[in-house]
Structure 1
Amino acid sequence: MGTTIGEVSRAESCIVADTKWTIVRMIPESSFVSPSTKQPLTKTPDGSALLGGPGERYPLIEGIPQLLVHSGQAQASGESQAYYRDRASEYDRGIEALFAMLLANEEQTRGEMFAELEVRPDSRVLEIGCGTCRDTIHLLDMPIDVFAGDLSLEMLLTGRDRLRRAGKDTSRLRLFCADVMHLPFADGFFDAVYHFGGLNLFPDHRKALEEITRVVKPNGRVVVGDEGIAPWLANSQFANILQNSNPLFRHRAPLDCLPVAARQVACRWILSGSFYLISFVKGEGEPRLDLDVEFPGRRGGSHRTRYFGKLEGVSPELRGRVLDAAAAEGLSVTAWLEKTLGRATRNVARDGAGD
């Protein structure tokens, strides 16, 4: 039993086959929010568009929501859209040539990348920049809900045709058109996010990775990668040959653009060291520290006293006398300062109370 993408907002049906019940689930339209305000979207009665706040109307073209934010944003993305519009028909041939020239098995390589998502049954996974669905077709073999988006409608339509020709069950798939800088999903909506092959073209790596991380649940995983020669191969003939044909191989893994919430970060190079693959787990905020652990040694103190308790305007001469006085009493500098300043402030408070 099959359904077309966007045919219904949500349905569940049962099929009797060899005495087993099979549940066919549809992903609801209400999964999407406004890419601008992050407020829920509603479907028009005629099913032709999704509506948000005043002036927000996102058409559904062949059932695929067009969730680019306003006309200004669409114009800003025009260069990338034009790039993929021109390449949609030849994209697949280029990918096949890439794996062939790198002497790599495409299906095996993609399977190894998916393994880093560590998804469980019924997980909700976002694939960004799905292109012609070369990865999506394999993700659909897993018992998960897949949201696959791309900036280019032309690429999505080509990908949907691929899935139909392959006879894939798309009841747990939702295709959509959107920009990674303005994802149409609520915070923490996904268990994992996957993107491979377009990161180098994102206009702002830091903002894109922050937005990707925003839509992942705490402890959810992010896996992203793209062209980028491994550092130890930077001056090799291998690198020079690849970069001569495709300047995108000059890019480097944008580790400095990861959000502070990234935990368990790993970066490895695949496909003979020609592509980087970054994976991490989403934490909450910056890593934690126990600020009050006391350090041994002459300086002493803790992170709290060293960072938040700095004294301003101390001359080198006075600092030297403090070091000598602390050493003479066998105390750390921090312990000596706390003792001496504490005594002094108590005396000031006492004398002031006696006035």
Structure 2
Amino acid sequence: MLDFVSPENYQPLTPAADGSALVGADGARYPIHDGIPDFVPATGGEQPLHGNQDFYRTRAHEYDLGNSVMFRMLLAEEEPVREDIVASLKLLPGARVLEIGCGTCRDTVHLLRRDTTVYAGDLSYEMLAIGKQRLEDVRADFSRVRLFRGDAMRLPFPDGFFDAAFHFGGLNLFPDIAGALKEMARVVKPGGRVVAGDESVGPWLAETEFAKILKNSNPLFAHVAPLDRIPVNARDVSCRWVLNGSFYLISFEVGAGEPQLDLDVEFPGWRGGSHRTRYFGRLEGVSPQLRETIVRQAAAEGLSIVAWLEKTLRKATETD
């Protein structure tokens, strides 16, 4: 339990004397139900800004049946597919893994088959209760799994706490997909991997009867893989489709900030300059006639336009 921090300020939490909650230095309390800490605000305007909680609470007991039907419908064997998806994390022995939206822990079982410690969270306590029973049924090692109720937008972990983060099957319903992916990347250490996927018929299948049938039964299959919502610190990004091209699977490595450039590499050719001079050194424009004169004069002197302009402007601005 001491691994969790406040999702509000990332400060440490300690168990209450009676074990009923995790408590912050600021007095914030996060209740524990049947060994599962709850980090979802319970009242007022602080309630999660989406309806997923009610959606999954009402269908928790039919969720597993729906999953089994989906795999049969797509002519796929569930266990090998889930093994393949989890393998995208490229986990090393001893890895610490976050799974958000774990549902009834169908993927959690596969994560635990590796030498990992898994933190599995979901917005629905009802889903987690079923998931906990599943883990007990397969005799999972509970020293290597920590269940929690939480919102993907407010994860109760410090920066860089995990080696990898995983989600499969609910991203389309998140109210802020970009924010959720950014939050997953926040809690993964540099060099770790994030893998996330959900329904989306591959674009090459968009006009097929296969796609039309799926979208007719479930509009979620009309979603587009959210490549434009991946955080800017993503590296080694890939997107593939699984389950006969009906689910996307995005994976990326966590880097630091935007990609970097060497701004001072000089470009060959008549234009010349570098990214620094072309982007940060831009001046106001000149008439087309003067531009042509500059191009001809630079060529006559064997200089690029940037080199000729810098030489000429430097000379014109020199002071005695």
Give TM class, smaller chain. over 0.9
Q: Is 1:167 aligned to residue 131 of structure 2?
A: no
Which residue in 1 is equivalent to 2:154? 182
Which residue in 1 is equivalent to 2:129? 157
Q: Which runs of 4+ in 1 moved over 6 A?
A: none
The percent identity for this pair of structures is: 62
Instruction: Please provide the CA RMSD for this pair.
Output: 1.3
2:267 to 292, 295, 303: 295
Contact 1:140 1:170 (C-alpha < 8 Å) held by counterparts: no
Contact 2:40 2:48 (C-alpha < 8 Å) held by counterparts: no
Which structure 1 segments of 5+ residues have no match?
1-28, 351-355
Q: Return the index of the structure with the highest Cα Rg.
A: 1
Contact 1:48 1:60 (C-alpha < 8 Å) held by counterparts: yes
Contact 1:35 1:183 (C-alpha < 8 Å) held by counterparts: yes
Give the distance between the partners of 1:222 and 1:191, measured in 2 at CA. 9
The 1:340–1:76 alpha-carbon spacing in structure 2 relative to 1, beyond 3 Å, is: same
1:202 to 174, 194, 198: 174
1:109 to 81, 84, 91: 81
Give CA-to-partner distance per residue, 1:266-292, whole Å, 9 cap, x none: 000110000000000011111111111
Give CA-to-partner distance per residue, 1:83-123, whole Å, 9 cap, x none: 10111000000000000011111110111111111111111
The 1:97–1:235 alpha-carbon spacing in structure 2 relative to 1, beyond 3 Å, is: same
The 1:265–1:73 alpha-carbon spacing in structure 2 relative to 1, beyond 3 Å, is: farther
2:226 to 233, 250, 254: 254
Give CA-to-partner distance per residue, 1:234-254, whole Å, 9 cap, x none: 111001111111111010100
The 1:236–1:128 alpha-carbon spacing in structure 2 relative to 1, beyond 3 Å, is: same
Contact 1:35 1:68 (C-alpha < 8 Å) held by counterparts: no
Give the distance between the partners of 1:105 and 1:312, measured in 2 at CA. 63
Using the size of structure 2 for normalisation, the TM-score is 0.97
Using the size of structure 1 for normalisation, the TM-score is 0.88
Give the distance between the partners of 2:268 and 2:89, measured in 1 at CA. 42
Written as runs of structure 1 = structure 2, the 5 A alignment for 1:281-320 is 281-320=253-292
Give CA-to-partner distance per residue, 1:20-74, whole Å, 9 cap, x none: xxxxxxxxx1111111111111111111001124351110001100011463466
The 1:186–1:204 alpha-carbon spacing in structure 2 relative to 1, beyond 3 Å, is: same
Contact 2:160 2:187 (C-alpha < 8 Å) held by counterparts: yes
Q: Is 1:142 aligned to residue 118 of structure 2?
A: no
Q: Aligned letter for 2:65?
A: R
Give CA-to-partner distance per residue, 1:194-248, whole Å, 9 cap, x none: 1000000100111111111000000000000000010000111001111111111
Which structure 2 segments of 5+ residues have no match?
none
The 1:242–1:228 alpha-carbon spacing in structure 2 relative to 1, beyond 3 Å, is: same
